[in-house]
Amino acid sequence: MGGFGTVAWIATHRPAARPDVRQAAMVKVLAASRSLDGGHLLKPEDVTTIDIPHGRESPDMTVDSPQAREGLMGAMLLHAVGGRMILRSDDLLRPGDRGFLAAALHGGMLAVTVGVDAITGTAGLIWPGDHVDLILTQTFPNEPQAERRVVAEIVLSNVRVIAIDRRLVLGRDAGREPQARTVTLEVTAIQAEQVSVVTRMGLLSLAVRSAKPGTEPEPVPRAAWAGDVSRSVRDDRVPAPVARSVLLYEGGADGKEVRF
């Protein structure tokens, strides 16, 4: 009887069913990967994602996608943000927004644009906010000395990149962009005049500088001529030919000297 009673009690006091716990759907939104200062121009390494519950995202957030990340590159932070802080529309001024260039420039600086191709522009590896050197390469085909026919020199040193072609202008289709690109640099008034001149003198290329400043003062680099960098050009010097002559006799006439 005791056993039957125990069974009957267990049958009438079954444990309450556990509630059906379903994992909430999450959405990835773009956030700062580290603490960033106001005025910083966003690069790929500055952006990460955080998960928030689906339905909690708001219109001022950016849901992660390749196109969304591309749209943030080069955008300027209007104020400082902390690491893993969601990047909201009010935190950013995007390239192409009214007043972007004026806000991105430091006081007293100007913006100038130079044209580069996919190779001289460092194969698309330059981002807004990078610091670069502007190199001018000239050729002198009529120069008799081969080692002096090509020369390269740094005409601007350690200038900041403000924008890169399609990141500066809205409404352009990146898929239809030609190979040639434009890079907008932050320069002084004197440097702006220099850029206006060098764009008509030869080929321009960019060299990216390290993000870590050097400890030693930088020497002023001198121009590099073809003979400085190419041993084959420097050593291939054909000696001037020795003047030679012969006497040419035609019939009984006196000989005529012919030089060659």
Task: Name the residue ranges covered by the structural domains of the chain.
Answer: 24-104, 105-213+220-259
Q: Give the per-residue pLDDT at 166.
A: 53
Return the pLDDT at 192. Answer: 94
Task: Give the confidence band of 11 by pLDDT, cuts at 50, 70, 90.
Answer: low
Phi, psi of 42 (to 5 degrees): -65, 135
Q: How far apart are CA 175 and CA 180, in angstroms?
A: 13
Confidence of residue 172 (pLDDT cuts 50, 70, 90): very low
Q: Is the predicted pLDDT of residue 79 greater than 70, yes or no?
A: yes
C-alpha to C-alpha distance for 182 and 124, rounded to whole angstroms: 11
Confidence class for position 4, pLDDT limits 50, 70, 90: low
Other CB atoms within 10 A of residue 254 CB:
7
pLDDT band at 238 (very low <50, low <70, confident <90, very high): very low
Q: Is the pLDDT of residue 241 over 70?
A: no
pLDDT of residue 155: 92
CB atoms within 10 A of CB 236: 11
Domain at 24-104, CATH class: alpha beta
Return the exposure string of 148-168: e unless at least 16 CB atoms fall within 10 Å of the residue's CB, then b: ebbbbebbbbebbbbbbbbbb
Does 20 score more than 70 pLDDT?
A: no
The alpha helices in 75-204, defined as continuous H runs, are 100-104, 189-198
Name the pLDDT band for 15 (thresholds 50, 70, 90): low
- Reported as a single tens digit per residue, the pLDDT across 131-169 is 999 999 999 988 888 888 899 999 999 999 998 875 443
* Three-state secondary structure of 75-92: CEECCCECCCCECCHHHE
Residue range 215-239: mean pLDDT, rounded: 68
